[in-house]
């Protein structure tokens, strides 16, 4: 375990109104969405500044409880695009930011195929803008960078490409991205590392598998399926449904991020995952069984609504991550079993239909109509 002298006092969280970011803010503030004692160990008493431009996947409603309890004292929201350099410069100075935790990203693979430009702008240029502003703000009079600051970059296992039936992604696995989304994240990862090697900017980087849990945008697999089961709609599955993904509960991921930020040496890269591989079709059948039970529906009838649709272009077959490094070097461990987490997630979505309905109005609905109708979704 490395001892760092990082301040970790005034933290800028980008994308804090999105799925993983809003759960991270809840975790840091000791307001875990999971309840219980598993995720109450952040011990953070500083200030969070949430920068989010509230595009389709950002929802300020996800943080109403934080705003009511800490708004104006320990929590501040800035509706700002991370590509807006003057605004980012202002925020760093105004709040005396010493730590940046960068979640903000365009993240839906289907959207990246249909409209890649937004992904390049946010994921590549947005990350560059943040890094460059941080470098300038954290520069000392002698030109060197302070050592009590940190830029942590959140990335994905998709940058590694696709695995065969065996093997796991390591931190040293060469990058081989296959979609506009994963290539934009790979590009941002390289820029982050370049700012460490070239300018000495203190950075850490994490690559994570599929997250699940509360507050996830309803176009993603689990919330989409839970909502469609509730509403009696078809359940679309790409290709043959045998693509394999590794699933991690969002707060287990966020605990790992916080451990990295607190303990890891600058310039290091870490894999985070659930070590919990599921074929999409098997996962869907499990979700149908659990959700049907909660709703009092017949699961066999619901399974008849599974609809196989044309596969996504460049659809990676299998992702799986090896987390040995973070477990052995930082002592990270998962607190939530998949069985517990999946049931808690299903119950959360069924109990928060208003939250989903508010998101599914307006721009999101228009986009779905335009882009998915021809796929039978």
Active site residues: 157-158, 181
Cβ–Cβ under 8 Å, residues 127 and 188: yes
* Contacts of range 358-364, beta carbons closer than 8 Å, 24 or more positions apart: 358/59, 358/61, 359/59, 359/217, 359/218, 360/218, 363/56, 364/56, 364/218, 364/219
> Contact, 310 vs 247, CB < 8 A?
no
| Pair type for strands 210-212 and 244-249 | parallel
Cα 211–217–218 angle (5° rounding)?
A: 110
CA 7 to each of CA 4, 72, 131, 196: distance values in angstroms, whole numbers, following the listed order: 9, 21, 18, 19
- What residues pair up with 50 in beta bridges, in sequence order? 13, 77
With beta carbons less than 8 A apart as the criterion, state whether 61 and 54 touch.
Answer: no
Q: How many CB atoms lie within 10 A of CB 5?
A: 7
């Amino acid at each position: 375990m490395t001892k760092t002298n990082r301040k970790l006092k005034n933290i800028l969280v980008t994308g804090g109104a999105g799925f993983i970011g809003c759960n991270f803010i809840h975790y840091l503030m000791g307001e875990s969405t999971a309840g219980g004692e598993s995720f109450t160990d952040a011990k953070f008493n500083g200030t969070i500044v949430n920068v989010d431009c509230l595009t389709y996947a950002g929802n300020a409603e996800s943080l109403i409880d934080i705003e009511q309890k800490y708004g104006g004292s320990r929590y501040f929201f800035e509706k700002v695009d991370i590509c807006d350099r003057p605004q980012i410069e202002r925020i760093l100075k105004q709040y005396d930011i010493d730590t940046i935790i960068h979640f903000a990203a365009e993240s839906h693979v289907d959207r990246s195929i249909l409209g890649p430009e937004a992904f390049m702008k946010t994921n590549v240029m947005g990350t560059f803008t943040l890094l460059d502003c941080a470098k300038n703000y954290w520069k000392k009079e002698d030109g060197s960078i302070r050592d009590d600051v940190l830029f942590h970059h959140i990335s994905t296992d998709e940058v590694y490409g696709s695995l065969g039936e065996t093997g796991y992604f390591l931190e040293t696995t060469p990058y081989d991205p296959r979609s506009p989304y994963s290539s934009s994240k790979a590009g941002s990862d390289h820029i982050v590392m370049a700012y460490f090697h070239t300018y000495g900017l203190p950075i850490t980087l994490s690559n994570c598998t599929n997250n699940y849990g509360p507050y996830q945008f309803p176009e993603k697999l689990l919330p989409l399926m839970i909502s469609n089961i509730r509403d009696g709609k078809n359940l679309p599955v790409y290709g043959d449904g045998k693509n394999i993904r590794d699933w991690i509960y969002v707060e287990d991921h966020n605990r790992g991020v916080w451990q990295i930020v607190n303990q890891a040496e600058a310039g290091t890269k870490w894999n985070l995952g659930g070590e919990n591989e599921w074929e999409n079709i098997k996962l869907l059948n499990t979700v149908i069984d659990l959700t049907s039970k909660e709703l009092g529906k017949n699961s066999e009838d619901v399974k008849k609504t599974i609809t196989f649709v044309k596969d996504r272009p460049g659809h990676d077959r299998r992702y799986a991550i090896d987390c040995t490094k973070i477990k052995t070097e930082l002592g990270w461990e998962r607190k939530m079993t998949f069985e517990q987490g999946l049931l808690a997630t299903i119950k959360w979505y069924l109990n928060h239909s208003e939250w989903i309905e508010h998101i599914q109005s307006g721009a999101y609905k228009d986009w779905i109509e335009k882009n998915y109708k021809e796929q039978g979704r």
